[in-house]
Amino acid sequence: MTRAYNVIDAVGHILEPLDLWERYIDPEFRERRPRFVIDENGKERLSVEGKLLGNPRGIGSLGAVGVRQGIVKANTLKYAEGRKGGFDPHARIVDMDADGIDAAFLYPSLGLFAGAVEDPGLAAAMCRAYNRWLADYCKPYPERLFGVAMLPMQSVDLAVDEMRYARETLGMRGGFLRPNPYHGKKMISDPMYEPFWMMAEALDFSIGFHEGSTTAMPTVGVDRFEEDRAARHMVSHTMEMMLVALSVIWGGVVDRHPRLRVAFLESGGGWIAPWLDRMDRHFDDQGFNESAPKTRPSELFQRNCWISFEPVESSIAVLADYIGPHKIMWATDYPHSDGFFPGAPQMLRERLGPLSPEAKHQVLAGGALGFYGLSG
């Protein structure tokens, strides 16, 4: 890479085109491909083998950036009317240039629900089709748009195969998983996942955890706030991420694989300091540490982990001092309805005021460079 990177969006999203799976899925799965449907309430949904996935209010919000600040009215857009840059890389670059963003790492939108697909073979075919399309989306701007692979964790063997394909054939630097359990209640530190972590380490392949707004996978706490969408969003995103961080760090994944790079994304960042303190407190307590990793949890985080913040979080500067600015990334969440466009980098700079220029650079770009293994 020859480009200089000063501002990196660590978690942006694409909008999967309506015909993605029809065009890109392997022929043997074409009849079982995901389909766009209108449900009994007149809402656009994604249907996979008869199961409706996504927000019951419809999937149009996935492209409705501007709702957060009132520029776009909530629940009024159809999916195909979403922000053009979600579908079109050339339009995305225009939006990135308007905000002074040098590069973006791209995660799915509809694909966030793919963890709920039950059949491993179909899940793997969906991931392969999506990853092929994503590579084509990024192709016109190879130094600015970077695809993050979707991985079919319904089968560890198939996830390993797709990881290898994404890295070796498509040139992708990382993949994403949901933090929610994929196999009943088995957490990601379970021994069944060891081949996955071994391959991620061997391929130098970053793994980012990203929650999705659906209860089709086991989701902690949402049953307590069934009628409050905002409360469910706060609970699911933050608490599922806390649990997977506990599994990755306390459960020994990064202790066993010292070259892994793991990130906890789009769940706020302020929880990480007390959570590491809590793990360290139990590590030091001989009455609790029989299941502890060999290495102190806060040291494992420093060696192997990153976390992303939203640009409006007031604790970023404090946390940069606590965990180090090089461990922090930020995200626009473009083009989702709760995303930050336009103006995300400036929002972030305003919250980084007391930090040194080098520390600001680490938050704006250095953390993402480190996690995704880029030079810049």
Query: Can you give the residue ranges of every domain in the chain?
Result: 8-372
User: For residue 223, what pLDDT is reported?
Assistant: 81
User: For residue 339, what pLDDT is reported?
Assistant: 93
User: For residue 47, what pLDDT is reported?
Assistant: 93
Res 187 pLDDT > 90: yes
Q: What is the pLDDT of residues 7-25, one digit of tens each?
A: 999 999 999 999 999 999 9
Res 209 pLDDT > 90: yes
- C-alpha distances in angstroms, 4 versus 102, 272, 343? 8, 30, 21
Q: Model confidence at 212, in pLDDT bands (50, 70, 90)?
A: confident
Higher-pLDDT residue of 150, 218: 150
Q: Model confidence at 55, in pLDDT bands (50, 70, 90)?
A: confident
Res 254 pLDDT > 70: yes
Number of H helices, E strands in the chain: 14, 12
Range in 60-64, 211-215, 221-225 with the lowest mean pLDDT: 211-215
**Strand 262-265 vs strand 206-210: parallel, antiparallel, or unpaired?**
parallel
Kindly report the number of other CB atoms within 10 A of residue 356's CB atom: 11
Q: Model confidence at 215, in pLDDT bands (50, 70, 90)?
A: low
In the block, tokens 């966030």 appear at 112
User: For residue 42, what pLDDT is reported?
Assistant: 93
- What architecture is the 8-372 domain classified under in CATH? Alpha-Beta Barrel (3.20)
Higher-pLDDT residue of 10, 237: 10
User: For residue 53, what pLDDT is reported?
Assistant: 87
Closest CA to 272 of 307, 318, 312: 307
Q: Model confidence at 236, in pLDDT bands (50, 70, 90)?
A: confident
Closest CA to 30 of 19, 45, 46: 19
d(CA 212, CA 247): 19
Average pLDDT over every residue of 98-124: 95
User: For residue 270, what pLDDT is reported?
Assistant: 94
Across all residues in the chain, what is the average pLDDT? 94
Q: What is the pLDDT of residues 349-369, one digit of tens each?
A: 999 988 999 999 999 999 999
Please tell me whether residue 177 adopts helix, strand or coil conformation: strand
Closest CA to 130 of 23, 51, 230: 23
Q: Model confidence at 293, in pLDDT bands (50, 70, 90)?
A: very high
